């Protein structure tokens, strides 16, 4: 009886989907970022960056932001940070080039289900002709970008909109992406790597 109950709980656990929701927006020259990791509708982990500024100093690009990290409903970390973008990009590139991360990404990519991508952009210039050109360029860029993403991932719902604003210099956007993956696929990918690594 207990074994059966344990077996059922394991099956339920393995079929639980982890949801990751990424929201990025730019409004009134203020960049915001929020990442929410949840199981069903329960928020497990949240990172909130209510402002994100780019600074150029001594030929280096710096990012300054205020960070709030929340685990369940408890604030773990809340402080202002600044780092050099050049160094961070180098470290990210170096980590992604590692064989383990590269293979893990390729293994797990096919199991990711992107449930929703929504991107709304407001762009304009005081010159009407320039506004129209910018609209066409941005729309073409988004079309090619999402065509590429659609060829690499399973996307259930995808919407993007480019609004042209005339007689005003403006660049604002809201990006919302929700993707899910089942725990069983994460474990399967890691085990697959272990087996391949032992060959």
Together in a domain, 198 and 136 = yes
In this structure, the answer to whether residues 57 and 112 fall within a common structural domain is: no
| pLDDT tens digits along 147-176 | 888 888 888 898 999 998 888 888 888 999
Domain-located, residue 93? no
Segment 135-140 shows an average pLDDT of: 88
- The pLDDT value recorded for residue 175 is 92
Average pLDDT of span 78-107: 56
For tokens 């990172």, name the residue: 47
Q: Where are the beta strands (DSSP E) in 7-104?
A: 17-27, 30-39, 42-57, 60-71, 74-84
Q: Identify the H or E element spanning 161.
A: strand 158-166
What's the domain count of the chain?
A: 2
- Whether residue 77 is predicted with pLDDT greater than 60 in this model: the reply is no
2-34 pLDDT tens trace: 677 777 777 777 777 888 898 988 887 777 888
Average pLDDT over residues 89-100: 54
Task: Note whether 111 and 143 are same-domain residues.
Answer: yes
Asked if 24 contacts 47 with a C-beta cutoff of 8 angstroms, the reply is: no
* Residue 88 is assigned to a structural domain of this protein: no
Could you list the residue range(s) of the whole structural domain that residue 127 is in? 98-199
Same domain, 111 and 189: yes
Rounded to the nearest 5 degrees, what angle is found at the Cα of 51, between the Cα atoms of 47 and 53? 120
The model's pTM? 0.68
In this structure, the answer to whether residues 14 and 56 fall within a common structural domain is: yes
Residues 102 and 195 reside in one and the same domain: yes
75 and 104 housed in the same domain: no
Is the pLDDT score of 198 beyond 50? Answer: no
Q: Say yes or no: 58 and 26 in one domain.
A: yes
**Do 12 and 52 reside in the same domain of the chain?**
yes
Pick the last residue of a domain from 82, 111, 136: 82
Same-domain pairing of 39 and 103:
no
């Amino acid at each position: 009886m207990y074994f059966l109950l344990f077996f059922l709980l394991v099956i339920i656990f393995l079929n639980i989907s982890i949801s990751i929701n990424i929201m990025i927006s730019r409004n009134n020259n203020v960049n915001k970022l929020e990442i929410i990791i949840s199981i069903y509708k329960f928020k497990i982990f949240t990172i909130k960056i209510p402002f994100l500024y780019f600074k150029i100093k001594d030929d280096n690009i710096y990012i300054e932001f205020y960070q709030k990290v929340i685990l369940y409903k408890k604030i773990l970390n809340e402080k202002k940070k600044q780092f050099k973008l050049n160094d961070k990009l180098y470290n990210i590139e170096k980590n992604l080039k590692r064989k383990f991360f590269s293979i893990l990404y390729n293994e797990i990519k096919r199991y990711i289900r992107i449930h929703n991508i929504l991107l709304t952009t407001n762009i304009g210039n005081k010159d009407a002709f320039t506004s129209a050109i910018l609209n066409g360029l941005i729309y073409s860029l988004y079309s090619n970008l999402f065509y590429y993403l659609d060829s690499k991932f399973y996307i259930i719902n995808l919407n993007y909109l480019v609004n042209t604003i005339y007689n005003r210099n403006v660049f604002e956007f809201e990006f919302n992406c929700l993707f899910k993956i089942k725990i069983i696929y994460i474990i399967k990918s890691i085990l697959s790597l272990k087996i391949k690594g032992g060959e």
